[in-house]
């Protein structure tokens, strides 16, 4: 099976970078809109029998990008491709993975069912809101994590007296692993939500006084959680605050809020397109393109992906 890369329209910059690392051109796709907003899509070259990797981040506008992905998978299936692998750097609806109140939908599961039914053979993604979401899919699901990339960057900066902070209970496992990797202590916050995208920190376990506090979260959406965590850290006497977040959704005035907050640096990954407004030195974006290229190469050659998780072996870490 020949390796083919196809980009949806949501994250062309990342797709081009991956294509460069793999020295494999992107197979052209025509994507247009009908007058009523419906999507027209056609893969322009032969893909029969090929091992196709579709790169589509389900970032805003999420519903449009999801529909485009499904239509692309359908087109590929009907073109008799050998295997359809979906590289979805940001998987939308992941936060809706349970019923928090009665009569709600579990849209993360609904999306999993739709993607599976579309005919995809595999999903590759990074930093799901909750790891167990993998089980919603009945097809191979390769889930990668971003914290080792942040840890590597911080290690290089040789930051002294660091503490890793989980901004809520859900982030504890990720923060604990990062603290373990860097051999530094952990602090945990209790966050309450009083409305969608509105948060407050009520309690904190751990000592952050006079330390460089590194908050690690899966995403920054409106920035509400990070701003609340930052104030709590300031009140508890942290000397310096660094934020690490995988998915830079940065909705509404998030950038402005982060600029104003007492944060020295915001480290992000490029799972969603990075807006031009992130010009200030406060923001540093680390690209996942080299890792994605390695993942694709290994899957294509049926090689183990476990070997990429070297950070899991403390003896060889960083």
225 binds ligand R5P (CB under 6 A): yes
Q: Of 24-32, 37-45, 168-176, 263-271, which segment contacts ligand R5P by CB under 6 A?
A: 168-176
97 binds ligand R5P (CB under 6 A): no
130 binds ligand R5P (CB under 6 A): no
- 3-class SS of residue 291: helix
Please select the residue that binds ligand R5P; options are 66, 73, 199, 295, rule is CB under 6 A. Answer: 199
Across the chain, the runs of DSSP E, i.e. the strands, are 3-7, 29-33, 39-43, 51-55, 83-87, 122-126, 141-144, 162-166, 186-195, 198-205, 212-220, 240-248, 265-269, 283-286
Burial class (CB in 10 A: 0-12, 13-18, 19+), 122: middle
189 binds ligand R5P (CB under 6 A): no
Please select the residue that binds ligand R5P; options are 223, 233, 238, 311, rule is CB under 6 A. Answer: 223
Residue 281 falls in the annotated catalytic set: no
253 binds ligand R5P (CB under 6 A): no
CA distance 192 to 199: 6
Cβ-based neighbours of 126, under 8 Å, separated by 6 or more: 89, 90, 143, 144, 145, 146, 246, 269, 271, 288
Residue numbers 201-220 binding ligand R5P by CB under 6 A: 217-220
Which residue's CB is nearer to ligand R5P, number 118 or number 134?
134
221 binds ligand R5P (CB under 6 A): yes
Hey, which residues are catalytic here?
191
Interface with ligand R5P (CB under 6 A):
95, 129, 167-168, 170-171, 197, 199, 217-225
């Amino acid at each position: 099976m020949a390796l083919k890369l196809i980009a949806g329209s949501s994250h062309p910059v990342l797709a081009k970078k991956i294509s460069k690392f793999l020295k494999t051109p992107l197979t052209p796709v025509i994507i247009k809109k009908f007058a009523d907003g419906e999507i027209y899509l056609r893969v322009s070259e032969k893909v029969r029998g090929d091992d196709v990797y579709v790169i589509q981040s389900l970032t805003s506008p999420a519903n449009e990008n999801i529909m485009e992905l499904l239509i692309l998978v359908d087109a590929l299936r009907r073109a008799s491709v050998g295997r359809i692998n979906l590289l979805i750097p940001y998987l939308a609806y992941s936060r809706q993975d349970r019923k928090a109140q009665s009569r709600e939908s579990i849209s993360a599961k609904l999306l999993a069912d739709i993607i599976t039914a579309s005919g995809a053979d595999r999903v590759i993604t990074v930093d799901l809101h909750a790891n167990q979401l993998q089980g919603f899919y009945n097809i191979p699901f390769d889930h990668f994590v971003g914290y080792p990339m942040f840890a590597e960057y911080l290690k290089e900066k040789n930051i002294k007296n660091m503490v890793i902070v989980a901004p809520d209970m859900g982030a504890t496992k990720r923060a604990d692993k990062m603290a373990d990797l860097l051999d530094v202590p952990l602090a945990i916050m209790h966050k309450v939500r009083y409305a969608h995208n509105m948060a407050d920190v009520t309690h904190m376990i751990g000592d952050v006084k006079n330390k460089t506090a590194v908050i690690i979260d899966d995403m920054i959406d409106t920035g509400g959680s990070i701003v609340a965590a930052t104030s709590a850290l300031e009140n508890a006497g942290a000397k310096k605050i660094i934020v690490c977040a995988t998915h830079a959704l940065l909705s509404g005035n998030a950038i402005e809020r982060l600029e104003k907050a007492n944060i020295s640096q915001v480290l992000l990954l490029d799972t969603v397109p990075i807006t031009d407004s992130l010009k200030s030195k406060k923001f540093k974006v680390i690209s996942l393109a080299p890792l994605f290229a390695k993942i694709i190469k290994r899957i294509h050659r049926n090689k183990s992906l476990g070997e990429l998780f070297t950070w899991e072996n403390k003896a060889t870490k960083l």
